[in-house]
Amino acid sequence: MRNTLRWSAVLTGMLLVLAACQPASSGSPGQSTAESASAAASVDAAAVCAADEAGCVEIPSGEPLHIVFWGVLSGADSTLGEDSKRGVEIAIDDINNTLLGHDIQFSTEDGLCTPEGGNTAAQKLAADTTIAGLIGPSCTDESLGGMQTLYDAGMTTISSSATRAGLTVPDRPAEYAAFLRTAHSDYFQGRMVAEYLYNELGLKKLATVHDGSGYAKALAEVARTHFEELGGTITTGGDQAIAKTDTDMSAVLTAIAADPPDAIFFPVFIAGAGYLTDQAKDTPGLEDALLMSADGTFSPDYIKAAGPAALGHLISSPDTSKFAAGYQDFLAKHKAKYGGDPLSIFHAHAYDAATLVFAALEKVALTDADGTTFIPRTAYREALYASKDVEGLTGPLNCNASGDCGAPILAVYKVTAREVGPPVVWPPEAPIWAPEPDFYTK
């Protein structure tokens, strides 16, 4: 008997809750006056949202506006994502945590720098209807894994560090309409590496190593192709690959040493690059080979991973010395907030991505009489693509139809005794070489 009573109480409670929810969705007669008053004011918002293919993000008055950064936040490459995340956080601080009259709620999603991780993260993001602005991912592989899901959900993301050339070519797959970036394209990075090694250093024989990731494989290929176009040769067995989980590189290095190259370019991530650098010095035949990695290793973690062998190592990466004047302020803010220098190279790109997101949100947002803000998703995407002459930390930002928003400014850095330490000091003071400005227009 007591049980029956308890159950009926629970049931009644649930019914009451349901009844309370009802008016919000369908509009009961009792509330019609209030409803119609706000409906009249929001006529254009409702019409715009109905007309927008992907509908609207609704932010009720007093609720926060949700901005998300997604990227690699754990594992060996986490400095890459953490660095970008900090860029976004500082951008949010710079607009005093408010946008369109709402406080900003900032959260993150870990994409693990893998296609599977990117896919999982994208599914979580697509299921969250509160998200107004999306910045990320860190890695090309995360983009490859997650883009279809985001596109299907009508969302748009802007990445600060996914650099594979194919992500922003004019004939990219349709779902990449959901992808823009402030990072450079590896079309330029790969060519710059080839030009530096061949033209500047006069090296003739190159070998490359990738790790099977979408980023490394494509970048190594651009570098090899352009090196050959310039007149250089790729050594026999000069196109090598490792697995991302490998620790013992001796077989790959021995294979390369069978036909010793002048330089080995390995645009892999931090752990792999650390093993390769450390173990190459012990491989007979590779004592004099120049070792070079790419922007994915522009991090103090790389120096820690490679140890003393990192001395003299070359890294291709964005050229911070050519960033806009505001970059020095950014560094000061970074130091004040996190107590140190940036962890990687894409923080300014992330800051710029956030700037573009804020500007596009402001451009398309509609607010009704209740103070509810509506973000039509397709209009927001179009606004991002229409971004022109926005002042960014990395330079002026202009998005083109294939999703490139930043101007590529790259350079070559060399690791010196100052960085190797101990203790490890980061970042290097200045790049040792940069291409002529007309390199990017050729």
Which among 125, 137, 136 has a CA at the least distance from the CA of 57? 125
Helix/strand/coil for 235: strand
Q: Which CB atom, from 231 or from 284, has the smaller least distance to another protein? A: 284
Q: Mark residue 208 as left, alpha or beta (left: phi above 0; alpha: psi -120 to 50; beta: remaining).
A: beta
Residue by residue, DSSP assigns 57-81 as EEE-TTSPEEEEEEE--SSTTHHHH
In the shown chain, the binding pattern of residues 165 to 204 toward another protein, with x for contact by CB under 8 A and - for none, equals ----------------------------------------
Question: Nearest distance from residue 254's CB to another protein, in Å?
Answer: 5
> Do 302 and 270 touch, CB atoms closer than 8 A?
yes
User: How many whole angstroms from its chain centre is CA 198?
Assistant: 30
Question: C-beta of 74: minimal distance to another protein in Å?
Answer: 4
Give backbone dihedrals phi and psi of 304, rounded to 5 degrees, phi first: -60, -45
| SS3 assignment, position 158 | strand
Q: Using the rule CB under 8 A, which residue among 124, 172, 304, 363 binds another protein?
A: 304
Nearest distance in Å: CB 73, another protein: 7
Residue 209 or 375 with smaller CB distance to another protein: 209
Answer yes or no: are the C-beta atoms of 87 and 347 closer than 8 Å: yes
CB of 422 to another protein, least distance (A): 8
As measured in angstroms, the least distance from the Cβ of 247 to another protein is 5
Closest residue by Cα to residue 142 from 169, 165, 111, 163:
111
Closer Cβ to another protein, 257 or 399, answer by number:
257
Q: How far is CA 193 from the centre of its chain?
A: 22
Least CB distance to another protein at residue 418 (A): 18
Compose the 209-248 pattern: x for residues touching another protein by CB under 8 A, - for all others: -x-x-----------------------xx-xxxxx-xxxx
- Closest approach of another protein to the CB of residue 420, in Å: 11
Mapping DSSP to helix (H, G, I), strand (E, B) and coil, where does residue 298 land? Answer: coil
- If the CB atoms of residues 299 and 387 are measured against another protein, the closer one turns out to be 299
Instruction: Please tell me the distance from the alpha carbon of residue 265 to that of residue 211, in angstroms, as a whole number.
Output: 12
**Least Cβ distance, residue 324 to another protein (angstroms):** 30
Answer yes or no: are the C-beta atoms of 38 and 95 closer than 8 Å: no
159, two tokens: 């990445």
Per-position x/- string for 39-78, each x denoting binding to another protein as judged by CB under 8 A, each - no binding:
----------------------------------xxxx-x
Instruction: Give the SS3 label for residue 337.
Output: helix
CA distances from 151 to 131, 175, 239, 384 (A): 14, 5, 34, 15
Sites for another protein among residues 243-282 (CB under 8 A): 243, 245-248, 250-252, 254-255, 257-259, 270-271, 274-275, 278, 282
Decide: is 285 part of the binding site for another protein (CB under 8 A).
yes
List residues binding another protein (CB under 8 A).
73-76, 78-79, 210, 212, 236-237, 239-243, 245-248, 250-252, 254-255, 257-259, 270-271, 274-275, 278, 282-285, 301, 304-305, 307-308
